[in-house]
Amino acid sequence: MASSTGDRSQAVRHGLRAKVLTLDGMNPRVRRVEYAVRGPIVQRALELEQELRQGVKKPFTEVIRANIGDAQAMGQRPITFLRQVLALCVNPDLLSSPNFPDDAKKRAERILQACGGHSLGAYSVSSGIQLIREDVARYIERRDGGIPADPNNVFLSTGASDAIVTVLKLLVAGEGHTRTGVLIPIPQYPLYSATLAELGAVQVDYYLDEERAWALDVAELHRALGQARDHCRPRALCVINPGNPTGQVQTRECIEAVIRFAFEERLFLLADEFHSFKKVLMEMGPPYAGQQELASFHSTSKGYMGECGFRGGYVEVVNMDAAVQQQMLKLMSVRLCPPVPGQALLDLVVSPPAPTDPSFAQFQAEKQAVLAELAAKAKLTEQVFNEAPGISCNPVQGAMYSFPRVQLPPRAVERAQELGLAPDMFFCLRLLEETGICVVPGSGFGQREGTYHFRMTILPPLEKLRLLLEKLSRFHAKFTLEYS
C-alpha cells in the first residue's frame, strides 16, 4: 500500500496525475458494447475522405458510404410537404408568405398551438405532445382497419432506437441464472446486441433461414429458448420486420405463429416493424388479444420519408401492466422529452395531406416516385449480385438494405486470421481501400458459423448504385483470384 501511495505522491511532484477514469476502471459493460454500423470500417472511411481532400492519390475519387440507411445523405430528396410545414413551424414569420400552400400553413398553426409557448423551441411533456400522440393513435387505427388505439399507450421517442432501449431497460432484471434473456434474430440490427451488452442482459440468438429468404422458423425459436433456459431467464422476444439487415418481410402465418409462441412461452414481444403485429394480435382474438404483451416501434427514418436526422419515432404498448407503464413514463421523463421538431415531423408522417388538400397531388407523386425507385433499386441489387460468381443475394422485399453472402477462399480466411480480423471484415476493409466502397461486414450483425456476408444500403441513385454493384462484383472476382 505504501509503495503505491509513494508512486502517486512522486507522480504529483512531477506534475503528473493518474487519470480518474481509465479503460481498466471504467464500466466494463460499456467496453463490451460493439456497434458495427459505425465501427472501425466507418472510421477508416472517414480517414480516406480526409486523405482525398488533402490530395492523396487513391484508386478512386470518392468514398461511397453504403454502410448506413441514411436516405438523404445518399441523395434522396425530402418530401416537399413535410419540409414546408417544418419550415413554417421553425420560423412562424413565414406564415404570411405567399410561397406556402394554405394546407401547409393550417398544419403548422395546428402543431404550434399544441406546443408550449406556441414554439418548437419549448419542451414538451415527456411522453410527447398530446395532439401528436392522438394523431399517432388515429394513424394506427387506420393502419389496422379500425382496431382501436389509445393515445395513452403511445409514447413519442428520439427515433425508434430510444424507445427500444427504454423498453429493454424495463425488462432487464436478475443475476446469474435468473438474468433476463432476450431472443434476437441473427442477423440482427446491432442496436440490440449493443443495448443488451450495456444493460448486462443475456443475448439469445435465433437464426433466420437464409435458404428460405431469411424466413423466421418457430422450431428455431424453440431450440434457442430451450438452450437459453439452462443459463438465463428468457423474458422477451424481438422481431424485426422488415428484416434489418436482411430486408425480408414476414408472412401473416409467420406473425401468428410468433405470437402463439410468445404467448405460450410467456415472453414479452418487441416488434421493430413496418408491418403490424398488433393488427394480427387483435384479429387472433382471445386469449392472445387481451393478454399478450407487445411493444411496437416505428420511426420517421424509414420508408419514403428518410428523415433520419430529425430523430422522430414512437412506441405503442399493448397489454402492458399499468404500474409498469407508469415506470416507463418515469424513465422517459429523466430525458425530459424527445426532440420537438422530430415530434412535429412524425405528426406529418402519420397524417399526410388528405385527397381534398392542395398539397395532396404533389405529396402522392413524390411519395410514389421514392417507393418506385426503391423497388427498382432492390430488384437491381438482387439481379447484379446473383449474376456474380461467388455472391448470392436474397430478394430485398421491404427494407433499404441487402445482405449478400460472399464466398471467401480458404487462403483469404487464413490471412484474415493472421491479421486478427474476421474474414468478412478483412474483405470489407480491402474493398474500401481499393474501391472506396464502404459496407459493413456480416460479422457485425451475426451470421451462421462459416458463412460470410456484408450489409449494404440500396439507397444511392440508380445509376450510381449500378456502378457500385458492378465495381463490388469485379472486386470480389479479383479478390477471389488473388487468394485462390
Please report the domains of the chain, with CATH numbers, ordered by start residue: 31-74+364-483 (3.90.1150.10), 123-350 (3.40.640.10)
Tell me how far apart the alpha carbons of residues 234 and 228 are, in angstroms, rounded to a whole number.
7
Predicted local confidence at residue 154, as pLDDT: 95
For the sheet with 180-186, list strands across it.
Answer: 154-158, 312-318, 294-299, 268-273, 233-241, 180-186, 202-207
Q: How many CA atoms lie within 13 A of 347 on its CB side?
A: 27
List, in order, residues 6 or more apart from 448 with CB less than 8 Å away: 186, 207, 210
Enclosing H/E stretch for 268: strand 268-273
Predicted local confidence at residue 205, as pLDDT: 92
Tell me how far apart the alpha carbons of residues 363 and 386 are, in angstroms, rounded to a whole number.
35
- Distinct helix (H) and strand (E) counts, the chain: 18, 14
| C-alpha 125: how far from chain center | 25
CA distances from 42 to 66, 214, 222, 374, 429 (A): 10, 26, 36, 24, 10
List, in order, residues 6 or more apart from 28 with CB less than 8 Å away: none
Predicted local confidence at residue 13, as pLDDT: 62
Query: How many Cβ atoms are within 10 Å of 286's Cβ, its own excluded?
Result: 7
Tell me how far apart the alpha carbons of residues 220 and 207 are, in angstroms, rounded to a whole number.
7
Q: Tell the residue number behind the cell numbers 413535410, with chain if given.
A: 82
Tell me how far apart the alpha carbons of residues 146 and 156 are, in angstroms, rounded to a whole number.
21
Enclosing H/E stretch for 63: none
Give the residue among 380, 457, 442 at the shortest CA–CA distance from 69: 457
Q: Is 378 helix (H, G, I), strand (E, B) or coil?
A: helix
Amino acid at 194: A
Tens-digit pLDDT profile for the chain (484 aa)? 445 555 555 555 667 888 877 778 777 777 777 665 567 888 888 899 899 999 999 989 888 888 877 777 777 888 899 999 999 999 999 999 999 999 999 999 999 999 898 888 888 887 889 999 999 999 999 999 999 999 999 999 888 888 988 899 889 888 889 999 999 998 888 788 888 888 888 999 999 988 888 888 999 999 999 999 999 999 999 998 877 777 778 888 989 999 999 999 999 999 987 778 999 999 999 999 999 999 999 888 877 888 888 888 999 999 999 998 988 888 888 788 888 999 999 999 999 999 999 999 999 999 999 889 888 999 999 999 999 999 999 888 777 888 899 999 999 999 999 999 899 999 999 999 999 999 988 888 888 888 999 988 888 888 889 989 999 999 999 999 999 8
Tell me how far apart the alpha carbons of residues 182 and 195 are, in angstroms, rounded to a whole number.
11
Angle 237-305-458 from CA coordinates, rounded to 5°: 75
Predicted local confidence at residue 200, as pLDDT: 85
Predicted local confidence at residue 250, as pLDDT: 85
Enclosing H/E stretch for 38: none
Enclosing H/E stretch for 247: none
Give the residue among 269, 180, 174 at the shortest CA–CA distance from 221: 269
Tell me how far apart the alpha carbons of residues 339 and 448 are, in angstroms, rounded to a whole number.
39
Alpha helices in 335-450 (DSSP H): 340-350, 360-387, 410-418, 423-435
